[in-house]
Chain A
Amino acid sequence: KNQVEQSPQSLIILEGKNCTLQCNYTVSPFSNLRWYKQDTGRGPVSLTIMTFSENTKSNGRYTATLDADTKQSSLHITASQLSDSASYICVVSAVYSGGGADGLTFGKGTHLIIQP
């Protein structure tokens, strides 16, 4: 069964500090992995999307890594800001014929709180 596990479930850090969120998956055959940021009461917004051959991808202060051998990904946030407070969701896509949305497996997210 395809699964995506995220840790920690929740995290509180002080403004200006760095943090790393983890995503482990068992989705097969693997197509790509995405990280989304979701503000409270809003829809998720894509941060990065990584394919099998990509190890690292950055988007401003966000850096995602992917180890396809161990089936692990991490999202590192540098110099956190109050606006980083949100849920971060890891989504893994399997290679199904047609590439439909049913090929996506969602993690339950990490709830991040940045304190001043």
Chain B
Amino acid sequence: KAGVTQTPRYLIKTRGQQVTLSCSPISGHRSVSWYQQTPGQGLQFLFEYFSETQRNKGNFPGRFSGRQFSNSRSEMNVSTLELGDSALYLCATRQGNEQYFGPGTRLTVT
């Protein structure tokens, strides 16, 4: 069974631009969560989707948004990028008590 995949793996953007990240969950998993990871803050919860509906949302500004498609694939969008948005963005799928993380997308904002 293939694991969680994320694309792209690396991305460099300029302040003010927008970016879209993609996450494909493990086959059969319908829950997708997104996290931002920075050295100082650790992993912070962005939002969670289940069956195309946003179930939960963390404490991030409205510039961060997401959606989930009928095949459970999910995208995350960040508009008007700021230098502080530079981070590793991880998505995870969940089944029961277990969470499975993707390899992440390393976003650098210059």
Binding site for B on A (CB under 8 A): 32, 34, 36, 41-46, 49, 89, 93, 98, 100-102, 104, 106-109
Q: Are A108 and B90 closer than 8 Å at their CB atoms?
A: no
A100 touches B103 (CB 8 A): no
B contact set with A: CB distance below 8 Å: 4, 31, 33, 41-45, 48, 55-58, 88, 90, 92, 94, 97-104, 106
B-side contacts of A93, CB under 8 Å:
97
* Chain B interface, >50% SS class: strand
Give the residues in chain B near A32, CB-CB below 8 Å: 97
Residues on B with C-beta less than 8 A from A109 are 42
Q: Which residue of B lies closest to A102 (CB)?
A: B56
What are the residues of chain A within 8 A of B42 when measuring CB–CB?
A: 89, 106-109
For this complex, 8 residue pairs linking A to B, each with C-beta atoms less than 8 Å apart, are A41-B88, A43-B103, A44-B43, A89-B42, A100-B56, A101-B55, A101-B56, A101-B94
Contact between chains at B104 and A46 (CB < 8 Å): no
Q: Which of A43, A101, A106 contacts B104 (CB 8 A)?
A: A43
CB distance from A113 to the nearest CB of B (A): 15
